[in-house]
């Protein structure tokens, strides 16, 4: 299996060569030369597998340069009930990503697949935990080391730190806005005492943190000498790891491959739902993939109109589902590549237009950039939008009807999924976080605190380890160099 860049750069690397990287050299995103297919017989055989072994089967199709036995060992080490143990009462923790029926109306069925039982209580653990083990494995094979530099306003940073803590050959330098994260999220990150994890609280906002990371990345000499890498949502291995739970959800919801299911995915950077698209391209019988956005509805706008219009940072709203507060959807380019039937020249032109003019238009109207929007239906995509009032109403309704507290992002998913139900086709909503992470809104909706999983009762009281820094690129460079000794 070789990989291509969406923008046409022709080097055809293999899985391990793109594992530690982000963008392709031409600024594009990596995709396999062609999607591997899963036959009906294979799918049937996969019905019996544990999550870890299912993950190994999926990964083997994409990582043909890692011996199959090594893959099986890595996934078994990653997907253990002990890692995914923070379940709510009622989740069957022997089942990683357990699926439950939330409600049925006649032939219509709404299901919830729990992805947030990992160490940081959000779905990003599903992929990031595997990435930690894959990175350690690949670095050991090459006798190399890696210094991960990132910026976070919450979920990504903590998932990365919990995945990389204690890993040989890896350090994590994570920038976050000083005093701007919730007490819970701050405690989750800053209470880590592992010597390879460095929390840097920047005197500024999230954008300042991101600008510092960009500033460092633009210094190619520094980046090379300090072995700087990232783990952001465009990382190909993260996307592949997410493909697994679509298979798992499908297999748990069906008894025969003649049946179809749909998924609704609370979306921001289009990373999670991109994995669903890939699962479908591999042959998984998915009916609809429904993109659920919050007030930052860049993606909903595209799936309704064919116009992709990125927002300026100042236009990005701070909402009560903050992990979906995006101005542009960084993985969307992968889907557009397929929509254009792999025409890298046109894709490059469209994304140059995004940089120059803020967007493109595939609606087919006079003067537009193309008419591919007409084909979106063939890929089975639909979309919906949910705002703060919807979120509160959905959290209250699910609590009253089912006695279940859901988080704000999952609430956006359920709100949108209920608009998209079809007779005879189960709709699976991906639960992306546990409510304890977003307690302020749970209090607003329900007048009480969200339940905390065992082990999280007093995390705000744990000793914290972090350094405060001005929003200054040179300061972070000095900080990193002093600690790597490179
Ligand atoms: C990251 C995140 C999302 C958005 O996922 P994308 O892959 O960026 O679309 C949704 N919900 C939660 C809780 C998240 O942490």
Q: Give me the pLDDT at residue 84, please.
A: 76
Residue 81 in any domain: the answer is no
Give 232's pLDDT tier (boundaries 50, 70, 90): confident
Q: Give me the pLDDT at residue 83, please.
A: 78
Mean pLDDT of the chain: 94
Q: Give me the pLDDT at residue 314, please.
A: 81
- Checking if the pLDDT of 87 tops 80, the result is no
Question: Which residue, by CA, sits nearest to atom 14 of ligand 1?
Answer: 323
Question: If you measure from the C-alpha of residue 432 to the centroid of ligand 1, how many angstroms do you get, rounded to a whole number?
Answer: 7
Q: Give me the pLDDT at residue 51, please.
A: 95
Active-site positions read 124
Q: Taking a C-beta distance cutoff of 8 angstroms, is the pair 9, 345 a contact?
A: no
Lowest mean per-residue pLDDT among 36-40, 74-78, 153-157, 401-405: 153-157
Residue 344 in any domain: the answer is yes
Average pLDDT value for residue range 124-144: 95
DSSP letter assigned to residue 230: -
pTM of the model: 0.96
Render 361-372 in DSSP notation, one character per residue.
E-S--TT-S--G
How confident is the model over 273-293, as pLDDT tens digits? 999 999 999 999 999 999 999
Give 89's pLDDT tier (boundaries 50, 70, 90): low
Nearest-10 Cα torsion for 59, 63, 68, 71: -60
Lowest mean per-residue pLDDT among 318-327, 336-345, 396-405, 424-433: 318-327
Residue 462 in any domain: the answer is no
Residue 158 in any domain: the answer is no
Q: Give me the pLDDT at residue 25, please.
A: 87
Q: Give me the pLDDT at residue 445, please.
A: 98
First-to-final CA distance of the chain:
34
Of ligand 1's listed atoms, the one at least distance from the Cα of 159 is 15
Q: Taking a C-beta distance cutoff of 8 angstroms, is the pair 199, 176 a contact?
A: yes
Question: If you measure from the C-alpha of residue 57 to the centroid of ligand 1, how many angstroms do you get, rounded to a whole number?
Answer: 25
Residue 194 in any domain: the answer is no
Residue 298 sits in which domain range? 100-120+238-446
CATH number, domain of 373, equals: 3.40.50.1100
Decide: 324 in ligand 1 pocket, CB within 6 A.
yes
For the chain, give the number of residues.
486
Residue 106 in any domain: the answer is yes
Decide: 270 in ligand 1 pocket, CB within 6 A.
yes
Residue 63 in any domain: the answer is no
Of ligand 1's listed atoms, the one at least distance from the Cα of 271 is 7
Q: Give me the pLDDT at residue 153, please.
A: 81
Calpha distance 104→309 (Å, rounded): 37
Domains in the chain, number: 1
Question: Which residue, by CA, sits nearest to atom 1 of ligand 1?
Answer: 323
How confident is the model over 175-222, as pLDDT tens digits? 999 998 888 989 999 999 999 999 999 998 888 898 899 899 889 899
- Residue 216's alpha-carbon distances to 161, 202, 317, 473, in angstroms, are 20, 15, 27, 7
Question: If you measure from the C-alpha of residue 431 to the centroid of ligand 1, how many angstroms do you get, rounded to a whole number?
Answer: 10
Average pLDDT value for residue range 115-142: 94
Residue 269 in any domain: the answer is yes
Lowest mean per-residue pLDDT among 53-62, 181-190, 251-260, 270-279: 181-190
- Checking if the pLDDT of 347 tops 70, the result is yes
Of ligand 1's listed atoms, the one at least distance from the Cα of 269 is 8
Average pLDDT value for residue range 407-425: 98
Question: If you measure from the C-alpha of residue 435 to the centroid of ligand 1, how many angstroms do you get, rounded to a whole number?
Answer: 14
Q: Give me the pLDDT at residue 10, please.
A: 80
Of ligand 1's listed atoms, the one at least distance from the Cα of 410 is 11
Q: Give me the pLDDT at residue 162, please.
A: 96
């Amino acid at each position: 299996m070789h990989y291509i860049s969406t923008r046409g750069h022709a080097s055809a690397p293999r899985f391990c060569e793109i594992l530690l990287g982000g963008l392709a050299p031409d600024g594009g995103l990596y995709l396999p030369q062609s999607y591997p297919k899963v036959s009906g017989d294979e799918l049937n055989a996969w019905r019996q597998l544990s999550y870890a072994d299912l993950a190994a089967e999926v990964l083997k199709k994409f990582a043909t340069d890692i011996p199959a036995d090594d893959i099986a060992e890595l996934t078994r080490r990653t997907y253990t009930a002990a890692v995914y143990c923070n379940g709510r009462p009622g989740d069957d923790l022997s089942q990683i990503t357990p699926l439950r029926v939330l409600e049925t109306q006649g032939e219509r069925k709404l299901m919830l697949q729990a992805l947030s039982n990992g160490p940081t209580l959000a779905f990003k653990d599903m992929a990031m935990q595997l990435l930690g083990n894959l990175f350690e494995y690949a670095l050991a094979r090459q006798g190399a080391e890696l210094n991960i530099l990132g910026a976070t306003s919450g979920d990504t940073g903590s998932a990365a730190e919990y995945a990389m803590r204690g890993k040989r050959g890896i350090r994590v330098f994570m920038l976050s806005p000083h005093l701007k994260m919730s007490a819970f999220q701050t405690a989750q990150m800053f209470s880590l005492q592992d010597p390879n994890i460095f929390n840097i609280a920047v005197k500024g906002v999230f954008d300042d943190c991101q600008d510092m990371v960009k500033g460092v990345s633009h210094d190619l000499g520094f980046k090379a000498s300090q072995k700087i890498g990232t783990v952001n949502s465009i990382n190909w291995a993260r996307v592949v790891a997410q493909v697994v739970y679509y298979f798992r959800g499908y297999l748990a919801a069906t008894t025969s491959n003649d049946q179809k299911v749909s998924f609704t995915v609370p979306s921001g950077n289009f990373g999670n739902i991109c994995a669903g698209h890939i699962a479908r391209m591999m042959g998984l019988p998915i009916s609809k993939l429904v993109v659920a956005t919050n007030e930052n509805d860049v993606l909903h706008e595209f799936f309704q109109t064919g116009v992709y219009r990125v927002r300026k940072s100042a236009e990005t709203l701070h909402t009560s589902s903050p992990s979906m507060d995006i101005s542009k959807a960084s993985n969307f380019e992968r889907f557009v590549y397929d929509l254009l039937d792999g025409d890298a020249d046109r894709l490059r032109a469209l994304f140059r237009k995004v940089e120059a003019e803020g967007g493109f238009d595939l609606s087919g109207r006079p003067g537009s950039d193309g008419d591919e929007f007409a084909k979106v239906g063939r890929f089975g995509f639909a979309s919906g939008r949910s705002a703060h009032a919807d979120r509160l109403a959905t959290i209250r309704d699910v609590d009253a009807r089912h006695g279940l507290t859901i988080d704000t992002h999952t609430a956006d998913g359920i709100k949108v999924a209920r608009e998209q139900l079809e007779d005879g086709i189960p709709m699976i909503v991906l639960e992306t976080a546990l409510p304890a992470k977003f307690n302020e809104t749970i209090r607003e909706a329900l007048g009480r605190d969200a339940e905390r999983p065992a082990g999280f009762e007093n995390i705000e009281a744990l000793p914290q380890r972090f350094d405060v820094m001005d929003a200054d690129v040179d300061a972070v460079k000095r900080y990193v160099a002093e600690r790597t000794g490179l």
